[in-house]
Structure 1
Amino acid sequence: ADLSTEYDAARLLTHRAAYLKDQKLPYNKEAAMAKLMASELAMKATTKGIQILGGYGYTKDYPLERYFRDAKITEIYEGTSEIMRLVISANILK
């Protein structure tokens, strides 16, 4: 239930940022919020999956191993989660 709720929240944040961009309105904060939420949710979901599968979650026999690696890199590429938090904070304080 928690992962599903967070997934919907990440989707809505993404749609909101896209809408603002389409309307030529400022969207930096919303884009950072969407990326932060989605990348951390991806890590949370894949980590839970690995816990469920145990050691099998780390083997190349299951696609979860690749999903976990892909999820981790989303926390780093295109701005780390910490940078996204700084962007969000700076925009809130404006």
Structure 2
Amino acid sequence: MVLKAMFWLLPFVILLYYLWAHWPSLKNKPLIPAIYFGGIILWISGIFFFTDDVKLGALVRACGIVVIFVGVCIDSFIYRNKSS
């Protein structure tokens, strides 16, 4: 049970740390935090709202993590390369 909770919470903790560490640069790019929060909403809804269908809940959680990862990639590769 503890391992399962850690698996569910680890991406959220990593994302919160990323947002906290990079917030000054993210304030100038409103699309990136919107992508992150959309991914968080998907990920949390997969945990709490799709408890009846385990496969659908896992798919929604995975989609949320992919959306968060896409936001990190866009921020890391596109925006950071434009500014330099």
What TM-score does the superposition give when structure 1 sets the normalisation length?
0.46
1:19 Cα deviation after fit: 1.2
- Contact in 1 for aligned 2:44/2:61 (Cα 8 Å): no
1:10 Cα deviation after fit: 0.9
1:20 Cα deviation after fit: 4.0
- Quote the residue 1:34 is aligned against: 64
CA-to-aligned-CA distance 1:23-77 (integer Å, 9 cap, x gap): 353212202211221111110011212331x2xxxxxxxxxxxxxxxxxxxxxxx
1:14 Cα deviation after fit: 1.3
Of all paired residues, the percent bearing the same amino acid is 6
Superposition RMSD on alpha carbons, in Å?
A: 1.9
Q: Distance in 2 between matches of 1:43 and 1:15?
A: 21
Q: Report 1:1-94 matches (<5 A).
A: 1-20=30-49, 23=51, 25-26=53-54, 27-47=57-77, 48-52=79-83, 54=84
Aligned residue identity for 2:53? L
Q: Distance in 1 between matches of 2:53 and 2:48?
A: 9
Q: Distance in 2 between matches of 1:46 and 1:5?
A: 15
The structure carrying a bigger helix percent of its residues is 2
Number of equivalenced pairs: 52
Q: Distance in 2 between matches of 1:49 and 1:24?
A: 41
